[in-house]
Structure 1
Amino acid sequence: MPTSPIVQLLIAVGLLACLVSLWKGGTAERVGAALVLASIAFSLFGAILLPKGAFLFGQMVGDAAVALGLLALTLRYGSPWMGMAMLLYAAQFALHSFYFVTQRPNDLFHATMNNVNFMGVILCVALGTVTAILRRMKQRRAAAART
């Protein structure tokens, strides 16, 4: 379990954003939030259950899988927030792969970029959910005005 208060706060906000998205989002937002939740779960439990080398490799594979999943969703639904989240996960993959290949220990730059990147993903999920809620409210108002 992460001991940094910043990381714990990011995880809590990320979980909250994903749960709200699962509850109130549209289909695209729900699937995207599920992908991000799976990534969070792997990060939390993979660090505990897997050896360090396997976990680092698994992080890269997970980042790539989430980025590809978000790419498929972006192509299917065309939401700008998914495209941005996909690009952020691709950047996350690049960050993790650079540190994995060069066998560098995680440093302040890695932690900062990882946290900023994940905060961007959380904001994308939240923005997508708010957009879906507003779109649904607008459709309901338009339907009520027609009757």
Structure 2
Amino acid sequence: MVIPSLIQIVWAGLWLLIFGVCGYALWKGGPPERFGAALILLVALLGGLIEIGLKDNARQVGHLAADGLLAMGFLFVAVRYTSLWLGGAMLFQAVQFSLHAFYFVLKRPYDPLYSIVNNIDLFGVLSCLLAGALAANGRARARPAEAA
């Protein structure tokens, strides 16, 4: 019997969290939450492909580019829609971009500190998206009650 390591459990849990939160936002969120969820899913899948397909040096550039893509996508959504959750997600994304830039510029290999900050940051972005989707769902439920 193979016992999964803690890293494998955390990795699987983060993927479940990504798909769960983004799925909920796509299902119950408003337009900005749906667009944000689609962006997060796209960049998460792109990040998985980067991990599988690129070597160490190219991997850092790939992650930096993917985080830049997500930041630009959030900026587009923020210009189009004004949502409080986007402000928090953009701040977390700035930390994420800075993390990748720090490791890239100093040519540091990924270490436990990188993993911890990266995972906490991902949890923050997903928390902001979930809060936005919950708020959008609450507003949608309140509209029919107001009309009656």
What TM-score, normalized by structure 1, do the two folds share? Answer: 0.91
Asked if the contact 1:66–1:86 (Cα under 8 Å) also holds between the matched residues in 2, the reply is: no
Aligned to 1:96: 100
**Contact 1:99 1:105 survives alignment (8 Å):** yes
Structure 1 unaligned spans of 5+ = none
Q: Which residue of 2 aligns with 1:59?
A: 63
**2:23 matched to 1:19?**
yes
Q: Which residue of 1 aligns with 2:49?
A: 45
Structure 1 Cα separation of the partners of residues 8 and 110 of structure 2:
14
Q: How many residues align?
A: 143
* Aligned with residue 33 of structure 1, among 9, 32, 37: 37
Partner of 2:143: 139
Amino acid paired to 2:42: A
Instruction: Give, in whole Å, the separation in 2 of the partners of 1:109 and 1:52.
Output: 17
Q: Is 1:85 aligned with 2:81?
A: no
Post-superposition shift, 1:31?
0.4
TM-superposed deviation, 1:120: 0.4
SS at match of 2:72: helix
Q: Is the 8 A contact 2:29 2:137 kept in 1?
A: yes
1:50 CA displacement: 2.1
1:111-145 residue CA offsets vs partner (Å, 9 max, x unmatched): 111111000011111111101100100111111x2
Query: How much has 1:59 moved relative to structure 2?
Result: 0.8
Q: Quote the offset at 1:43 in angstroms.
A: 1.5
Aligned mates of 2:85, 2:66 — CA distance in 1 = 20
Identity %, equivalent residues: 37
- Would the aligned equivalents of 2:47 and 2:66 in 1 still touch at CA under 8 Å? no
Q: CA RMSD in A?
A: 1.5
